[in-house]
Structure formats: C-alpha cells, structure tokens
C-alpha cells in the first residue's frame, strides 16, 4: 500500500501539487486522472522519487520514502517497476536484452536462468519469440509498451507505475495493454498506479480512481460511481464530448424510467 | 553574473563526477560496457586518426622543407622539426581536438537522447546509478584507448613524412631519417601520452555532462552536442598551455 500525506510540490513560484492525500491500495489498479497540466505526472514523479516534494510524505507500507537515505531509496526502487509514456526502452539493446537488463543488474541468476525469466516475462505479455532479437526501433508502439511491461515485471516488483501507458496507441491495442496491466496486478498482487487520459481505461479497469484538478484531489472513487457523480468538474472531464454527455444522459434516463 | 553561472556549471559537473566515480553495481555489466565503449569511441576512431595523421605528417614535412631548410641549416632540420611537431603537439593536442568533435558530439547526443526519451529516468527507477553506468565506461574506455591512438598517430604522421620523401621526392629519405633520429628524447613520447590522458578525460567527461544535463527535446540535444564540442575544445586548448608548461 502506498499512502500519500499532504503532498505539495512547487516549481519556483508555481504550486503544482497542493496538499494531496490519498491511499493506493494493494492488488488494485489505481488510476490517477486529470486534465493536462493538472499535476498527474508531477504526482507520479514524486511517488517514485524522480522529484522531491516540497512538503508531505509518501509512505510505502509505512516507510517514508522522502525521508530515506540515498542508499535506502536505491534499495527501495528495486521493488518498483515503471512503464513510461514513451516506453523508454534502451535503443542499443534488443527486446530480450531490455527485459534481461534488470536481471543482469540485480539478480543472482545465471545466464540461462536470466534468459528463461526474460522469455517468461515476454510470454506473459504475449510477445512472440520472433521479437526477441529485434531492436526497439524495429517494433510497433504497442509492442514497445508490452516490452516495457515485461521489463517492469522482470524482478517481481511490489509497486508498478505506469505513466500514460496507452498514449499513442489505437483503442484496440489500448484495451490489450489495459487487460495486461489488470491481469498482472491481480496475478502478482502488486500495487499498480496508472496515470491516464484514456476514458476506456477509467471505465474498464479503474478500481480506485483519483481525479486531480489544478493540483488538488478533487474526487476519489471507483469507476461505477462516476456515472452518478454530481461532481461537475469530474463529469465535465470524463464526458467531455457532446456524444459522451448524451450517452450518459441516456443511461441515467433509462435508469430513472426503470425505477 | 557570468562567473556565477560558470561556477554553478562547474559545481554541477563536479557533483556529477562524484556520482560517476563510484564502485560499479555489477562489475560484469561494467566490463561489458567498458569494452563496448573502447570499441565505439576508440577503435572506431582509428581510421580518421590514421588518415589525418598521415596527411598532416606529410604536409608538415613539406612545409618544413620549403620554409626552414636552407644552405645554412643542417640537412636533418626538416626531419627533426617534423618529429618534434608531431610528437609534442599534433599527436596529442591537435588529434584530441579532432576527436573532441567526433567523440564529443557522439557522447553528448547519445546521452542527451537517452535523457529526453526518459531512458535515464528508467535506469534511475530501477535503482541503477545512471551516471556511473553510462559515463564511467566511456571515461575509462577513452583513457585506455587514447595512448594507442597517440602512438598510432605519431607513427602514421612519420609515415606521411616518409611518403613525401619516397614518393614526392621533397627531400632525401636519408636526411629525413637523420632528422627523425636526431637528439630523440623518449620523455617527449611520454609527455604526449600524459597530455592525451588529460585530454581523453575532457573529451569523455565534458560531453557526457552536457548530454546528461539536457532538458527539453531534440533541439536541446543538438545544442548540447554543439556545446560539448566547443567546451571540450576550449578546455583542451587551455589545459594544453598549462600541461606543456608543467611537463616541459
């Protein structure tokens, strides 16, 4: 479990995060949603320690990450996996080498075991063996995201962070990625935090959703509550287009009639 | 204000070097990267080093013959001055200036691209000391390969000089040999190698710093690459003055 207590982050005069407090639960897909510039990515970077908060606490199973020493932070990071918006695969390495990298660095396995483990991870994300020897530049965006997921789970992390994993992907591939993330979360019982704009993800896999609005937590709940929410900022964001607004109205009208 | 800015940059450079020179997390991975960097930065530069050294050696020899040789000078003077120029300045300083362009831009753009595409963030999230993992093998690789490049450069420069004697008939080969052997001080060879070690450190660490601290996108990567070449070239020239004074 990751607990955030009164997290604030400022860049010079600009206050980006304004006292966010929330809990990201184990074995659940926790989603952070919000408009561009609302502070989602800054929140995630504070969670993983790529940025230091101005004030507040980030507690990993009770351990305050902000207060840890540099060495303790490094050790803690070995329990984390992260999937970046751009996949962030190492250009100079093949797909298999990318997935093997964390194993090469931190595991005590021999070469054969490391290869087998990397191939298991690639199998888990449904990537065929044909892709093993290809470089990231030679595979599609969706495949790159799957390789990034395989790399992130190679060391069996306790916490998985995903920064807009569906960005740049078509709706069908996005569903595949969402399914994989949800499956992995359940299978390994990890705490997964996903930063997303994708409304399919919100409605499909959102078990704990935090809506950030202008740097503060505006709303928290599950996907089934969104349809009936009276928070206009949330509904305006989720049902942004006229089509979605009309569809929501139709659903609500239908429910009222059936009552 | 300008001094404050440069001191800030120097401070950040020193802090980065502090992170770079830490014990590698996995020696096996370090050795793999080290060998790769030696090949990429050093072995791949041999061609250009040999090409430039050969022609510069030839040109220096022709210029010495045309401008210094006279009836009042000993006949070995062209060979002697060619050797001294090649050994003392060209094979270390000028050759490193050329490498600053080739290797420096390569390092800055490679690390800069890794920065803007979040590959360095990915390393940090994994708990890897990205500065040490990426930069230390480059510095050690350059330091290891540089003496060989200096020796190859000197030897090829002399071959170039012989080419002017044997093929161009600019001066008799015996005169050139006499000059090349006249009053040879082995210390000059060592001096050249020592100087090149300092330059190798500059060529690898300054561009790495420029690339590692890139912010923004591809335009800034290009800018950092240019900054890397300019900064390392200026630093090589400055340090050359002090090193020459110190080692002579």
Region of poorest pLDDT, from A7-16, B27-36, B222-231: A7-16
pLDDT at B39: 94
CA distances from A14 to A8, B27, B244 (A): 11, 43, 51
Determine the Cα–Cα distance for residues B198 and B185; give it in Å rounded to an integer.
21
Determine the Cα–Cα distance for residues A38 and A147; give it in Å rounded to an integer.
29
CB-based burial, B103-118: b 16+ in 10 Å, e otherwise: bbbbbbbbbbbbbbbb
In this predicted structure, the answer to whether residue A134 has a pLDDT above a threshold of 90 is: yes
For a pLDDT cut of 70, what percent of chain A falls above it? Answer: 100
Element spanning B67, H or E: helix B46-67
First to last CA, chain B: 36
Region class of B167: left (phi > 0), else alpha (psi between -120 and 50), else beta:
alpha
For B22-41, what is the mean pLDDT? 92
Q: Give burial (CB, 10 Å; 0-12/13-18/19+) of A221.
A: middle
CA distances from A37 to A15, A40, A42 (A): 12, 8, 9
Determine the Cα–Cα distance for residues A57 and A234; give it in Å rounded to an integer.
26
Inter-chain touch A50–B122, beta carbons under 8 Å: no
In a domain, residue A101? The reply is yes
Tell if the pTM clears 0.90, that is, is over it: no
In this predicted structure, the answer to whether residue A247 has a pLDDT above a threshold of 90 is: no
Please tell me whether residue B6 adopts helix, strand or coil conformation: helix
Residues in CB range of A123: below 8 A, 6 or more apart: none
pLDDT at B19: 93
Band of pLDDT at residue B73, cut at 50, 70 and 90: confident
pLDDT at A49: 87
Length of chain A: 259
Inter-chain touch B118–A84, beta carbons under 8 Å: yes
Inter-chain touch B125–A80, beta carbons under 8 Å: yes
For a pLDDT cut of 70, what percent of chain B falls above it? Answer: 100
pLDDT tens across A104-122, in order? Answer: 988 888 999 999 999 999 9
What's the domain range around A28?
A: 2-222
Within 13 Å, how many C-alpha atoms sit on residue B49's CB side?
29
CB neighbourhood size of A158 (10 A): 19
**Cβ-based interface (< 8 Å): residues of A facing B:** 48, 50, 74-78, 80-82, 84-86, 88-91, 101-102, 104-106, 161
Chain A CA closest to residue B27: A105
Chain A CA closest to residue B125: A77
For B4-17, what is the mean pLDDT? 94
SS (H, E, C) chain A: CEEEEEEEEEECCEEEEEEEEEEECCCCEEEEEECCCCCHHHHHHHHHCCCCCCEEEEEECCEECCCCCHHHHHHHHCCEEEECCCCCCCCCCCHHHHHHHHHHHHCCCCHHHHHHHHHHHHHHCCCCHHHCCCCHHHCCHHHHHHHHHHHHHCCCCCEEEEECCCCCCCHHHHHHHHHHHHHHHHHHCCEEEEEECCHHHHHHHCCEEEEEECCEEEEEECHHHHCCCCCHHHHHHHCCCHHHHHHHHHHHHHHHHHC
For B102-129, what is the mean pLDDT? 93
pLDDT at A244: 80
In a domain, residue A236? The reply is no
Inter-chain touch A77–B113, beta carbons under 8 Å: no
pLDDT tens across B180-218, in order? Answer: 999 889 999 999 999 999 999 999 999 999 999 999 888
In a domain, residue A237? The reply is no
Q: How many CB pairs lie under 8 A apart between chains A and B?
A: 53
pLDDT at B110: 95
Q: What is the CATH number of the domain that holds A183?
A: 3.40.50.300
Which of B118, B124, B127 is nearest residue A86 as measured by Cβ atoms?
A: B118
In this predicted structure, the answer to whether residue A78 has a pLDDT above a threshold of 90 is: no
Average pLDDT taken over every residue of chain A: 88
Band of pLDDT at residue B47, cut at 50, 70 and 90: very high
CA distances from B114 to A3, B136, B219 (A): 31, 16, 14
Chain A hits for B29, CB-CB cut-off 8 Å, are 104-105
**Cβ-based interface (< 8 Å): residues of B facing A:** 25-26, 28-29, 113-114, 117-119, 121-122, 124-129
Chain A CA closest to residue B118: A88
For A44-68, what is the mean pLDDT? 89
Tokens of B131: 């500065």
pLDDT tens across B121-180, in order? Answer: 999 888 899 999 999 999 999 999 999 999 999 999 999 999 998 998 888 899 999 999
In this predicted structure, the answer to whether residue B10 has a pLDDT above a threshold of 90 is: yes
Inter-chain touch B126–A105, beta carbons under 8 Å: yes
Average pLDDT taken over every residue of chain B: 92
pLDDT at A69: 86
Please tell me whether residue B29 adopts helix, strand or coil conformation: helix
For A75-90, what is the mean pLDDT? 88
Region class of A196: left (phi > 0), else alpha (psi between -120 and 50), else beta:
beta
ipTM of the complex: 0.84
In this predicted structure, the answer to whether residue A259 has a pLDDT above a threshold of 80 is: no
The vertex-B77 CA angle with B76 and B79, nearest 5°, equals: 70
In this predicted structure, the answer to whether residue A258 has a pLDDT above a threshold of 80 is: no
In this predicted structure, the answer to whether residue B34 has a pLDDT above a threshold of 80 is: yes
In this predicted structure, the answer to whether residue B100 has a pLDDT above a threshold of 90 is: yes
Determine the Cα–Cα distance for residues A202 and B183; give it in Å rounded to an integer.
81
- Does residue A141 contact residue A168 with C-beta atoms inside 8 Å? yes
In this predicted structure, the answer to whether residue A207 has a pLDDT above a threshold of 90 is: no
In a domain, residue A255? The reply is no
Chain B CA closest to residue A51: B121
Which of B114, B118, B127 is nearest residue A77 as measured by Cβ atoms?
A: B127
pLDDT at B43: 92
Give the residue, A27 or A89, on which the prediction is more confident: A89
Top-confidence range, A186-200, A214-228, B89-103: B89-103
In this predicted structure, the answer to whether residue A177 has a pLDDT above a threshold of 80 is: yes
Determine the Cα–Cα distance for residues B135 and B206; give it in Å rounded to an integer.
10
Determine the Cα–Cα distance for residues A195 and A163; give it in Å rounded to an integer.
5
Determine the Cα–Cα distance for residues B58 and B66; give it in Å rounded to an integer.
12
Tokens of B136: 């230390």
- Please tell me the total count of domains within chain A: 1
Band of pLDDT at residue B114, cut at 50, 70 and 90: very high
Which of B28, B119, B127 is nearest residue A74 as measured by Cβ atoms?
A: B127
For A237-259, what is the mean pLDDT? 80
Band of pLDDT at residue B48, cut at 50, 70 and 90: very high
In this predicted structure, the answer to whether residue B41 has a pLDDT above a threshold of 80 is: yes
Tokens of A42: 């800054």
- Does residue A200 contact residue A221 with C-beta atoms inside 8 Å? no
pLDDT at A127: 84
């Amino acid at each position: 479990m990751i607990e955030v207590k009164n997290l604030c982050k400022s860049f010079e005069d600009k206050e980006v995060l304004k006292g966010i407090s929330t809990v990201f639960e184990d074995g659940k897909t926790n989603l952070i949603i919000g408009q561009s510039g609302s502070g989602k990515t800054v929140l995630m970077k504070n969670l993983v320690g790529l940025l230091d908060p101005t004030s507040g606490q980030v507690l990993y199973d009770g351990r305050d990450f902000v207060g840890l020493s540099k060495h303790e932070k490094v050790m803690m990071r070995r329990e984390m996996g992260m999937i970046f918006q751009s996949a962030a695969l190492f250009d100079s390495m093949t797909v298999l080498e990318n997935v093997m990298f964390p194993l090469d660095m931190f595991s005590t396995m021999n070469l054969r075991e490391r290869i087998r483990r990397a191939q298991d991870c690639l199998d888990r994300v449904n990537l065929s063996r044909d892709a093993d020897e290809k470089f990231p530049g030679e595979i599609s965006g969706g495949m790159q995201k799957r390789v990034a997921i395989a790399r992130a789970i190679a060391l069996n992390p306790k916490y998985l962070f995903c920064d807009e994993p569906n960005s740049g992907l078509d709706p069908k591939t996005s569903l595949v990625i969402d399914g994989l993330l949800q499956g992995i979360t359940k299978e390994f019982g990890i705490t997964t935090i996903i930063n997303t704009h994708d409304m399919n993800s919100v409605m499909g896999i959102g078990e704990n959703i935090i809506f950030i609005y202008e740097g503060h937590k505006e709303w928290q709940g599950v996907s089934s509550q969104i349809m009936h929410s009276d928070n206009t900022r949330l509904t305006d964001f989720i049902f942004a287009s006229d089509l979605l607004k009309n569809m929501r109205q139709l659903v609500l009208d239908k429910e009222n009639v059936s009552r | 204000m300008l001094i404050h800015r440069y001191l800030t940059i120097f401070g950040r450079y020193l802090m980065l070097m502090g992170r770079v020179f830490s014990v590698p997390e996995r020696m096996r991975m370090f050795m793999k990267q080290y060998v790769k960097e030696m090949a990429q930065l050093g072995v791949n530069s041999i061609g250009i080093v040999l090409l430039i050294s050969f022609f510069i050696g030839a040109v220096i020899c022709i210029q010495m013959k045309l401008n210094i040789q006279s009836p009042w000078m000993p006949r070995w003077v062209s060979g002697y001055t060619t050797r001294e120029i090649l050994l003392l300045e060209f094979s270390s300083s000028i050759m490193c200036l050329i490498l600053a362009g080739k290797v420096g831009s390569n390092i800055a753009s490679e690390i800069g691209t890794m920065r803007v595409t979040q590959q360095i963030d990915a390393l940090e999230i994994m708990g890897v000391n990205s500065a040490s993992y990426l930069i230390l093998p480059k510095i050690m690789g350059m330091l290891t390969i540089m003496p060989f490049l200096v020796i190859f450069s000197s030897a090829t420069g002399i071959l170039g000089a012989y080419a002017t004697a044997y093929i161009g008939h600019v001066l008799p080969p015996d005169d050139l040999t006499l000059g090349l052997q006249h009053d040879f001080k082995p210390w000059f060879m060592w001096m050249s190698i020592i100087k090149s070690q300092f330059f190798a450190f500059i060529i690898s660490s300054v561009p790495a710093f420029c690339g590692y601290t890139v912010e923004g996108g591809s335009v800034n990567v290009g800018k950092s690459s240019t900054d890397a070449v300019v900064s390392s070239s200026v630093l090589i020239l400055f340090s050359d003055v002090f090193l020459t004074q110190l080692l002579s």
